[in-house]
Amino acid sequence: MKIEFQPLHPTFVARAGKVDLRQVTESQLQQIRDAMDRYGVLIFNDQQFDFKEQLEFSTRLDGQLHSKTSSAAIAKNRFGNEALTDISNIGTDGQVLAANDRRRMNGIANRIWHADATFENPAGRYSLLYARSIPPVRADTEFADMRAAYDELDEQTRQEIAGYTVFHSIVYSRHVMGFDFSDEEKARLPGAIHPLVREFPETGRKSLYLASHAERIMELPVPEGRLVLRDLIEHATRERFLHSHEWRLNDLVIWDNRTTMHRARPFDDKRYKRELTRVTTLDLPRAQA
């Protein structure tokens, strides 16, 4: 059975037609991968995942899972599996985290523009975020199309940034936000170097590869490199490149971290509970059928 996809933005993001992702065929999995190549962000409403089913679908779709997260470095995972990242403001007692809880302080840094697992090697490819409970107020996730942003760069800028590599560190991005890891936690999060421009032979397109974790351009002096990164992020987050997703209960949103950035929009997280679980896959070659 063919899955239909409805575009929600001129350059990226689509909503899938009715489908139960727990029961998709291999053909439908390939349809989803093809749609990811086209749209970068896919929205699936009315899914019914338990924890195991979310992990199983993510593995079927894209293989090996990312588990070296910042949240795993600072606290034990309450689900018992580090590949199931807790994007929630709820503690093990089921209550809203205290305002000064380190888990909350680490989590609210998701409000700055980023892509998941850029600080790892291999980095993240797909993220699959599932809404298990949502607050009675809007708590959107906003996405930026990094392929469209690259396409609109002038030719001189494209030539200047071609070949640049960037060191990504979540220790850096959290420090900028005023959150510091212990020496032991830092040792678990060493960072990684990736190209500033990603190329995709399957689509013939290029994408900026940016994130708040981008600490420096390796080929430039640090101050100059940081200005270049700042200017590129400012360019890539102009309104015409953005789409905001308003969460519904049981939504699953999948995005490609190689071609998009995202950020959480603020809500009163000291008052309202929200429970989301995320699985991120690693950018590794897929096994051939």
State the CATH number of the domain containing residue 134.
3.60.130.10
288 lies in some domain: no
Question: What is the total count of domains within the chain?
Answer: 1
Spatial distance between the Cα atoms of 8 and 78, rounded to a whole number of angstroms: 35
230 lies in some domain: yes
Give the sheet arrangement for strand 242-245, strand by strand.
Answer: 242-245, 141-145, 260-264
Tokens of 69: 């997260």
pLDDT of residue 289: 39
164 lies in some domain: yes
What angle separates helix 26-39 from helix 51-62, to the nearest 10 degrees? 80
30 lies in some domain: yes
Percent of the chain topping pLDDT 90: 87
Spatial distance between the Cα atoms of 212 and 263, rounded to a whole number of angstroms: 10
> 106 lies in which domain range?
5-282
The pTM of this model reads 0.95
Using alpha carbons only, what angle is made at residue 131 by residues 128 and 133, rounded to the nearest 5 degrees?
A: 160
**Which of the residue ranges 131-145, 174-188, 196-210, 267-281 would you say has the lowest mean pLDDT?**
174-188
122 lies in some domain: yes
57 lies in some domain: yes
Percent of the chain topping pLDDT 70: 97
pLDDT of residue 78: 80
- pLDDT of 72 strictly over 80: no
